[in-house]
Structure 1
């Protein structure tokens, strides 16, 4: 058994690795794991530090809430210490504003890499940026008390941390529009019914359920899982014929590899 190693612990984010499973934990329960640019940089760094041996990444939040979203200090004139305030960014050039938001988005993109499967363990509130962070993962396992809400529109903003595409893909355009435009809460039962959550369990069973799912995902050969994830992620942007071609190519690679003829 390989000992668990801590590879990162900064700005409310901890990354630990044990064999083929990495765990990213939001570690500021006193503020319900509210998010900030510093936390986003730490999340992006966690993705860069991920060893190549990792196959499954678990994302969790300490305390009663997964993440209550963006720290409201971001909207004050002073913002965060050592950071440009959002108001200062708004007064800058279009290019600078676009570049800064792109940097924030890096924290939400690496979870979709084809070489890993990411699982969000969601309890309590997953609001705004917290909702989008859960959407960044491939799978979501929720406690019965989980509540999702996209509050950006209510604040005069839009969801800009890569959450709109997976939300529409999971639950459809009409339902996604209604949830985002109203900012209403989506409780765990609805999340499971609509496909937003893969599984809902009692809060006391959340960690065990996530560990069981991770173990099941590790049972199949890694390369087969990687190829399958790549096929499924790209399917929505391909025609039926294009997907047939991609399936044949992927299967050819798998058969050659199993026969010992791979590159």
Structure 2
């Protein structure tokens, strides 16, 4: 069932699985504010039955990043150009960037597990969109790069936080400050990718992962994801308490005593 198909984004749902596809292959799925609004809308349209969300890009590339048209004086039709945005009041610029970030923030909800299936280029905003997901399955030809610094900018679409947690501060700094490419094999070695496979095996690898993620009871996965997501910000005693509370909820539920 197709729930959305506009502005380079298509959402289809099949019971517990939702697939979000970037459909602007002619532009290597370059991103625009309209695409970001559509991606943010996807997060509001998911039925309660959905447990796993797969994000993929049509064509040879996952996403080549921000469409450079954003930096022209004309910008996109009906959109403020980035140059005009910079000239406006600071609070308006802050609010506009915050609205763009909404496309990148819902993928880590505790009730979902999101998977980015990455082939070819994942550059800038494309890299950050892959980082927005919980898991990344990559083809061997995947090429990640954070090119913002080469444009005199910073990564501002929520990618810095997961990148540091995945690869560590020093490596994240080196990747972002140099703008170099991280290829598929390195992405696997440094923990950026959960799995790296030949390009013709990408769909099968994602399908196998989906099957494995859907096998356990949903509430057990939700509780476990919440525990892991909060672990970094908690001390050991706090984490022990969180584990006890979560396990208590699971045991009561299994005993038929849940609320």
TM-score, L = length of structure 2: 1.00
* CA drift at 1:177: 0.0
Counterpart residue number, 1:61: 57
Asked if 1:169 is matched to 2:165, the reply is yes
RMSD: 0.4
* 1:136-147 to 2 correspondences below 5 Å: 136-147=132-143
C-alpha distance in structure 2 between counterparts of 1:211 and 1:23, whole Å: 12
1:67-120 Cα shifts (integer Å, max 9, x gaps): 000000000001000000001111111110110000000000000000000000
Asked if 1:50 is matched to 2:46, the reply is yes
Asked if 1:198 is matched to 2:194, the reply is yes
C-alpha distance in structure 1 between counterparts of 2:234 and 2:82, whole Å: 38
Counterpart residue number, 2:7: 11
* CA drift at 1:208: 1.0
C-alpha distance in structure 1 between counterparts of 2:5 and 2:119, whole Å: 22
C-alpha distance in structure 1 between counterparts of 2:108 and 2:95, whole Å: 21
* Corresponding pairs, count: 259
Asked if 1:95 is matched to 2:91, the reply is yes
The SS at the match of 1:176 is: helix
C-alpha distance in structure 1 between counterparts of 2:15 and 2:203, whole Å: 18
Counterpart residue number, 1:117: 113
* 1:1-263 to 2 correspondences below 5 Å: 5-263=1-259
C-alpha distance in structure 2 between counterparts of 1:65 and 1:55, whole Å: 26
The SS at the match of 2:107 is: helix
TM-score, L = length of structure 1: 0.98
1:136-167 Cα shifts (integer Å, max 9, x gaps): 00000000100000000111000000000000
* CA drift at 1:254: 0.3
* CA drift at 1:19: 1.1
Runs (5+) with no aligned partner, structure 2? none
C-alpha distance in structure 1 between counterparts of 2:235 and 2:150, whole Å: 37
C-alpha distance in structure 1 between counterparts of 2:164 and 2:110, whole Å: 20
1:179-215 Cα shifts (integer Å, max 9, x gaps): 0000000000000000000001110110111011001
Runs (5+) with no aligned partner, structure 1? none
